[in-house]
């Protein structure tokens, strides 16, 4: 069946089994240059068009389903500003660096494994994402896609370290892996007695909802592991009827759904925006967990919000929301044994 979409585009409406093979096609058809995306939004001749930068080393990648949530003709669209490379990324102050959290290489005991905090370690089974966010703190990370052998070695390192109670799957975005690969990692982790919880960090439910297939839901539902999924949603416009449907299905599998948001200048740095985000997250079955100050990574200076502004916004949220809908305002600092709570 063919249904009309915005801006005279058409989308084939598929059954879920067809979707299972289509989400990878959707990635291959994603917007990969500012020109393509700005043309689609009718902004190619705008002032923003002159600021777009197609030469960035960290390339643009935007699934069409995410672009469809942007407002045509609006250069300040909060979803567009998260993903469009601009020449502002070339302005970098002294306090900005490629590795602001000093994550590499010292913390990498084993390839693809990072241990920063006691009892928890971060496993990066892929370097790929469904979208490239301009503020990404790992945009310069020297990711090497793990091989079967290196992944096996990493999983064995987790097995032999009995202090590890929780493994965080990050990346990249772990949900970009095919079900067989992802669940093979989850199966191995859940066979390790001291690993009590598996936490999955992902941006996929809002940027590529078609990835959350019935097959994926079934596998999650039948799994015995204690799984926590931390979605990464920054603006209420990322949520719509389709995300509502996939998030509800995820919630019905029994996994815990939490969300983290990065505070971004000109995108979500208003109390009203974040209050609305918390309300909408809750209505789609997710609890707000963290509101992060962005890390001082080279190329992201124009998106950083000051601590003073963050506090002001946060106080507004405390006034407007019940406590359970207020995320913790945090920053990450290198060498600290936990995230730093900002109050
Ligand atoms: S999805 Fe996450 S890891 Fe990937 S580019 Fe965005 S912020 Fe970075």
**127 lies in the same domain as 29:** no
* Tokens of residue 174, six digits: 């772990």
Report whether 73 contacts 42 (CB < 8 A): yes
pLDDT mean over 305-312: 97
Give the nearest ligand 1 atom to 137 CA: 8
Above 60 in pLDDT, residue 97? yes
Does 107 fall in a domain?
Answer: no
**149 lies in the same domain as 251:** yes
Domain count, the chain: 2
pLDDT of 144: 74
**202 lies in the same domain as 318:** yes
Q: Is 203 in the pocket of ligand 1 (CB under 6 A)?
A: yes
pLDDT band at 9 (very low <50, low <70, confident <90, very high): very low
Return the best residue to mutate from 122, 124, 129 for the ligand 1 pocket (most ligand atoms within 8 A of CB). 129
pLDDT, one tens digit per residue, over 56-96 is 999 999 999 999 999 999 999 999 999 999 999 999 888 89
pLDDT of 105: 57
pLDDT of 106: 56
- What does the alpha-carbon distance between residue 306 and residue 318 come to, in Å, rounded to a whole number? 18
- What does the alpha-carbon distance between residue 222 and residue 229 come to, in Å, rounded to a whole number? 16
The terminus-to-terminus CA distance of the chain in angstroms comes to 52
What is the residue with the minimal CA distance to atom 3 of ligand 1?
172
Above 60 in pLDDT, residue 109? no
**129 lies in the same domain as 259:** yes
pLDDT band at 15 (very low <50, low <70, confident <90, very high): low
84 is in which domain, residue-wise?
Answer: 2-90
CATH code of the domain covering residue 142: 3.20.20.70
* Tokens of residue 79, six digits: 């979803």
Å from CA of 189 to ligand 1 middle: 23
**Average pLDDT of the chain?**
90
- What does the alpha-carbon distance between residue 249 and residue 221 come to, in Å, rounded to a whole number? 10
Å from CA of 173 to ligand 1 middle: 7
Q: Where do we find the tokens 């407002």? A: 71
pLDDT, one tens digit per residue, over 238-266 is 999 999 999 999 999 999 999 999 999 99
pTM, two decimal places: 0.91
Above 90 in pLDDT, residue 197? yes
**325 lies in the same domain as 211:** yes
Does 103 fall in a domain?
Answer: no
- What does the alpha-carbon distance between residue 175 and residue 169 come to, in Å, rounded to a whole number? 9
Å from CA of 81 to ligand 1 middle: 14
Does 96 fall in a domain?
Answer: no
- What does the alpha-carbon distance between residue 224 and residue 13 come to, in Å, rounded to a whole number? 33
Above 50 in pLDDT, residue 12? no
**151 lies in the same domain as 277:** yes
Return the best residue to mutate from 82, 138, 143, 264 for the ligand 1 pocket (most ligand atoms within 8 A of CB). 138
């Amino acid at each position: 069946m063919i249904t009309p979409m915005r801006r005279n585009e058409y989308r084939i409406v598929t059954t879920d089994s067809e979707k299972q093979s289509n989400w990878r096609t959707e990635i291959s058809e994603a917007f990969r240059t500012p020109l393509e995306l700005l043309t689609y939004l009718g902004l190619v001749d705008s002032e923003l068009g002159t600021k777009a930068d197609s030469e960035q080393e960290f390339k643009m990648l935007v699934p069409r389903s995410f672009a469809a949530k942007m407002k045509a003709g609006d250069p300040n669209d909060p979803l567009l500003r998260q993903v469009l490379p601009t020449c502002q990324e070339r302005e970098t102050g002294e306090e900005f660096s490629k590795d602001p959290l000093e994550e590499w290489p010292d913390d990498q005991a084993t390839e693809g494994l990072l241990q920063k905090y006691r009892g928890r370690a971060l496993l990066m089974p892929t370097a790929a994402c469904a979208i490239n966010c301009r503020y990404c703190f790992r945009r310069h990370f020297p990711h090497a896609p793990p091989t079967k052998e290196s992944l096996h070695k990493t999983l064995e390192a987790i097995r032999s370290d009995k202090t590890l109670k929780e493994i965080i799957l990050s990346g990249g975005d772990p949900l970009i892996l095919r079900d067989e690969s992802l669940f093979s990692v989850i199966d191995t982790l859940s066979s390790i007695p001291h690993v009590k919880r598996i936490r999955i960090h992902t941006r996929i439910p809002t940027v590529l909802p078609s990835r959350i297939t019935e097959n994926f839901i079934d596998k999650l539902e039948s799994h015995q592991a204690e799984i926590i999924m931390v979605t990464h949603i920054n603006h209420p416009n990322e949520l719509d009827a389709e995300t509502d449907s996939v998030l509800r299905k995820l919630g019905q599998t029994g996994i815990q759904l939490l969300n983290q948001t990065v505070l971004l200048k000109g995108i979500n740095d208003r109390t009203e925006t974040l209050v609305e985000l918390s309300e909408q997250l809750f209505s789609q079955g997710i609890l707000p967990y963290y509101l992060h100050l962005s890390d001082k990574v080279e190329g992201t200076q124009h998106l950083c919000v000051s601590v003073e502004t963050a506090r002001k916004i946060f106080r507004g949220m405390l006034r407007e929301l019940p406590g359970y809908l207020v995320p913790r305002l945090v920053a990450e600092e290198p060498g600290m044994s936990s995230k730093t709570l900002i109050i």
